[in-house]
């Protein structure tokens, strides 16, 4: 099967470099333009399913893509972003000042350390992966619209990487990562592709 993993377009909090987590932020004007560029780049793809996080920034990106396909996006609540708890709405410099001990823990063990009042990357992966397994079992070609940490945990699982190795993975807004999965073997066709945004 072919699986395309899409990160939502930009929000105001992305511009301001604030942690969004499960906060339901909307696409900015730039983000809506990015979603349109992204949707045009996927116009000629064939999908059996378009599956999306329920958060507005992802859902509206999925809707933009779905306009060119005769498919209604299916919402999966477990594709929502990592619950960042007390960090939501803060910038990284603010987190370093307010939660210095957490940063030390995060650097040592990204996978299991739990966000204050939130969840861990391992907890996120545990709720996301069954959704992906179901999609791969029921579709020949599927598009998933979600969030940075969600997609990173999926990529770690597919590659049998520890979540502690996730620090080298970066996903731009409105990016697409394309995979072919056959008999348990995965081939990357594109990783963090944002070439469709070059003119924006």
pLDDT in tens, 26-67: 999 999 999 999 999 999 999 999 999 999 999 999 999 999
User: 107 lies in which domain range?
Assistant: 2-197
Instruction: Establish whether 147 is a catalytic residue.
Output: no
Provide Rg for the chain, Cα atoms: 16
Catalytic residue among 8, 10, 76, 88: 8
Cα distance between residue 60 and residue 142, in whole Å: 17
Catalytic residue among 10, 36, 81, 88: 81
Longest dimension (CA), the chain: 49
State the total domains in the chain.
1
Q: Is the pTM of this model over 0.75?
A: yes
Residue of 102, 25, 10 lying closest to 94 (CA atoms): 102
Residue of 8, 46, 40 lying closest to 24 (CA atoms): 8
| CATH code (residue 167) | 3.40.50.1240
Instruction: Establish whether 8 is a catalytic residue.
Output: yes
In eight-state DSSP terms, residue 198 is T
pLDDT in tens, 84-138: 999 999 999 999 999 999 988 988 889 999 999 999 999 999 999 999 999 999 9
Angle at 105 between CA 18 and CA 148, to 5 degrees: 40
């Amino acid at each position: 099967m072919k699986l395309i993993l899409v990160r939502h377009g930009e929000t105001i909090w992305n511009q301001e470099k604030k942690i969004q987590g499960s906060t339901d932020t909307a696409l900015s004007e730039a983000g809506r333009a990015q979603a349109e560029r992204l949707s045009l780049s996927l116009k000629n793809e064939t999908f059996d399913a378009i599956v999306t996080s329920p958060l507005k920034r992802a859902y509206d990106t999925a809707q933009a893509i779905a306009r060119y396909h005769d498919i209604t996006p299916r919402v999966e609540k477990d594709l929502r972003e990592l619950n960042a708890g007390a960090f939501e709405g803060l910038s990284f410099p603010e987190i370093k000042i307010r939660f210095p001990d957490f940063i030390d823990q995060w650097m040592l063990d990204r996978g299991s350390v739990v966000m204050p009042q939130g969840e861990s990357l391992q907890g996120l992966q545990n709720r996301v992966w069954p959704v992906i397994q179901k999609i791969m079992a029921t579709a020949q070609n599927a598009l998933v619209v979600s969030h940075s940490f969600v997609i990173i945990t999926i990529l770690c699982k597919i590659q049998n990487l520890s979540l502690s190795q996730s620090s080298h993975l970066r996903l731009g807004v409105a990016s697409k990562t394309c995979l072919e999965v056959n008999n348990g073997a995965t081939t990357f066709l594109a990783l963090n592709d944002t070439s469709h945004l070059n003119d924006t």
